[in-house]
A = this chain, B = another copy of it.
């Protein structure tokens, strides 16, 4: 009975070095050490819960060739059903195509791969997926229940079954995501026998720590082709992030097509090839919705708007003031005039077209920016005519209140950068969510004022930091910056700096509910689609675990790196297996020899 001996040996040998393969770490999980195989014949049984919210009975169809998603409003299939069906298609593809051989978690020369034995192998024959509750309306400003359960267990000596349940389709999607992370490919001699999980029996009960888990991508300093954004959306979903914040316009370019003002993009984009058409935006929102990601578009204003001057110079104050230091955070300077009927009309026209479109794409939030408004530049705004805060402030208050009211009236929750509330400070509608970016103190100040807050400051969660001073240094300033030429927020935020960031430091217990979650930030002065993966991943995965599972264990201590490093490294390999060119966590030897690379 050599075969049986081999099987026993293999089962013992594969006792997994990585004791948890689902990233981010589930709230509760119990994993065994038996092997079960998935051979391509397992049946998916899908049961949808009560009918979803009727406002979402869109049909999403995907073109297999282009992976373009088309939404049709009058379909009989609800969003929930469409999402779950599409997620099952993706899950099948991941399960059978990831082709992940986790060699780096086993010692050199060890016989760790399970041996498939036709006579004794446990085979998964059924995957049942159930949404239990009615689908909530994603466009409303309330957290969605993202919880799910996942079990894989034997139904008899030779068969196992997967059971996934979620209250909402979002929960079900997360369950399927976790499922796809439990399987590996066997390269020994049994490729045709499919993939295996070494964790039988599996029992996971999971839900997120924070309802808002996202990334902010600046697509205006550098343009990203739609395909880059879709790839980012996929990867966010594997990390159980739920928010893609697109910072879509900036002083450098206006890549957003507005049909009623075609010259905005025609003159403000970098080139005619670097414009997000109405169809592109619809495509991005639809693609994201199918993957449990909500897109939050930001039109930053009144600062960071110089690109409007390429088509409407009369709306912009102090365009490209040179030398620029003191007048804006970076060139080109330029901000919307604060008290101009023409600017008011522009914003009204912009929102009149844009907001209903986004609403019909299922959006519930809209980010109106508000960072780095420069009072020094305001003296060149003839509708203000002064850099005195006492003069600027009322005008800024008027402008921002009007913008936020229009957003609220269109049925969106506005989001604003922290300066609007903290620096000037303005009176903001209590429904406005504040995005803090300066430091931890900001988070505390925002909740003290009773506003909800999104964290992720530049000292910890800016993915662009530490890659060097990108402005041209003049010979006069050379000595001040050479030889290192670091940037204002150096050093680079590596995954440890991101993971061990105590975003809740100093927040009183009774204000914790106001902390919605956080975002990492990918500003694009030195990044474009060529290197997006390497810059974002796996550092954003570290943030994803903080946001889903928090960074401390049940005793309140930070999780040790012995626990986090191998799991993050495995998640990196999973992303690479799916075509994401993520950065490396550490060299293979350290993963093969846990504990031997400590300092």
Contact = CB atoms under 8 A, between A and B. Distances in A.
Interface of A: 103-104, 108-109, 221-223, 251-253, 267-268, 270-271, 310, 320, 322-325, 330-332, 459-460, 466-475, 477-478, 481-486, 490-492, 494-497, 500-501, 524-528, 530-531, 533-535, 557-558, 560-562, 565, 576, 581-590, 592-593, 595-599
A370 B253 CA distance: 52
A530 B534 contact: yes
Contact of A531 (B270, B483, B534): B534
Given A530-B581, A534-B534, A576-B530, A475 B310 contact: no
Given A221-B587, A332-B589, A587-B524, A561 B472 contact: yes
A268 B588 CA distance: 12
A490 B104 CA distance: 27
Of A473, A492, A558, chain B has the most CB atoms within 10 Å of the CB of A492
A460 B558 CA distance: 34
Contacts of A582: 530-531
A507 B494 CA distance: 37
B599 A471 contact: yes
A473 B331 contact: no
Contacts of A331: 589-590, 593, 596-597
A530 B108 contact: no
A88 to B, nearest CB: 28
Nearest to A325: B599
Contact of A270 (B104, B310, B473, B597): B104
B584 A526 contact: yes
Given A270-B104, A496-B485, A530-B581, A473 B561 contact: yes
Given A222-B588, A534-B531, A587-B526, A497 B470 contact: no
Contacts of A500: 478, 482-483, 485
Contacts of A581: 530-531, 534, 581
Contacts of A109: 267, 310
A530 B459 CA distance: 27
14 contacts: A109-B310, A221-B587, A251-B589, A467-B492, A472-B590, A472-B599, A473-B496, A474-B561, A477-B599, A478-B500, A482-B497, A491-B492, A531-B533, A531-B584
